Structure 1
Amino acid sequence: MIGWVAMVAIFFSMNLFMIFMAVDNNPGLVNEDFYERGQDYEENMMKRRANDPGWQMKIQLPRKIDVDQLIAARFTVKDKSDQPVTVDQVMFHAYRPSDAAEDFSVPMLQVAPGVYEAELRFPLLGAWDILVSVKRGEDEFNTPKRIGVGIDWMP
């Protein structure tokens, strides 16, 4: 009897652990050109680290986002000395871990020095991975964030 109870307890513990890992870790998104992008991975990472300007980038969204609710997404970028940075282009990308057909991208417009905004709607309930991509000249810098639509779970 004790053995059966222990097996059931282990079964449920492992399932809870797997659920936690699935929610907390990489969503498993795959780029269509993964092979080409990964060929010079180490060299590209070294270049990115060498070109890192040390900017402070922050994505600001409402704490509670409902399905199909129009919201304002705000993105701020400052340099090391806390001064606003003007960049060439800012794009807001939203990725649905469970359904790539729902992914979308929206350009963000500058509303003040170093402050960019976009209005958008999330069409489905659940987890979304956000990536704000900043381009300045030939360089591109990204800031990720995971959010929940329809649930109050954003930090």
Structure 2
Amino acid sequence: MTEKKSAWQSPWVIAWVAMVVIFFTMNMIMIYLAIDNNPGLVVDDFYERGEDYEENMLKKQARNPGWIMSIDMPRKIDVGQSVVCRFTVKDKVGNPISRDGVTFYAYRPSDAKQDFSVAMNQVGPGEYEAEVSFPLKGAWDALVSIKNGEDEYNTPKRIGVGIDWIP
């Protein structure tokens, strides 16, 4: 008489069950991350802002002065620690640009209630500074906005607070 072997002794059955378990586990992890972490920034008036988006972007690109803008932040930022954010702006040939209305914006991708902004002070030709403090650990999106008459130009930077971050 031949003895029946258990299906669990077959490597094919074990491999298929392992793949199904891994598939469901990864899906549960992805669902948890999608619910727990808001994936991006949302504005309240998204429809109104997007109605003429292409037309407005083309107009803005036509008026773009070609400025060279950069944000300088410390590599290590701790929660609640005041740090100095530096912003420089130069024209196409490297001459400093001075304008009124330079603002530092900090956006928390996972919680819009934590967003804040700080006016930047001019410390030299084309050089601006602001002292900022981040209340929560994690990823932040920084944006420095400079106005030139009616137009506004922005430069972004991703910041890690309270973690080892490689920009």
| TM-score normalised according to structure 1 size | 0.87
1:88·1:137 contact (CA, 8 Å) conserved in 2?
no
Q: Partner of 1:60 in structure 2? A: 72
Greater C-alpha Rg? 2
Q: Partner of 2:93 in structure 1? A: 81
Q: What amino acid maps onto 1:2 in structure 2?
A: A
Structure 2's unaligned 5+ residue stretches are: 1-13
| TM-score normalised according to structure 2 size | 0.81
| Deviation by residue 1:78-100 (Cα, 9 ceiling, x = unmatched) | 11101111122110000111111
Distance 1:14 1:153 in 2: 27
Distance 2:66 2:24 in 1: 45
The match for 1:151 among 153, 156, 163 is 163
Q: Partner of 1:6 in structure 2? A: 19
Q: How well do the aligned residues superpose, as a CA RMSD in angstroms?
A: 2.2
- After TM superposition, the structure 1 = structure 2 runs for residues 1-155 of structure 1, keeping only pairs within 5 Å, are 1-11=14-24, 27-155=39-167
2:40·2:110 contact (CA, 8 Å) conserved in 1?
no
Q: What amino acid maps onto 1:110 in structure 2?
A: Q
The Cα of 1:14 is off from its aligned counterpart by 6.4
The Cα of 1:11 is off from its aligned counterpart by 5.0
% of aligned pairs identical?
A: 64
Structure 1's unaligned 5+ residue stretches are: none
- Between the two proteins, the alignment pairs up a number of residues equal to 150
- SS of alignment partner, residue 113 of structure 2: helix
- SS of alignment partner, residue 117 of structure 2: strand
Q: What amino acid maps onto 2:122 in structure 1?
A: Q
| Deviation by residue 1:26-52 (Cα, 9 ceiling, x = unmatched) | 942111121211111111010111111
Distance 2:22 2:46 in 1: 40
Q: What amino acid maps onto 1:65 in structure 2?
A: I
| Deviation by residue 1:81-127 (Cα, 9 ceiling, x = unmatched) | 01111122110000111111111000001101010000010011111
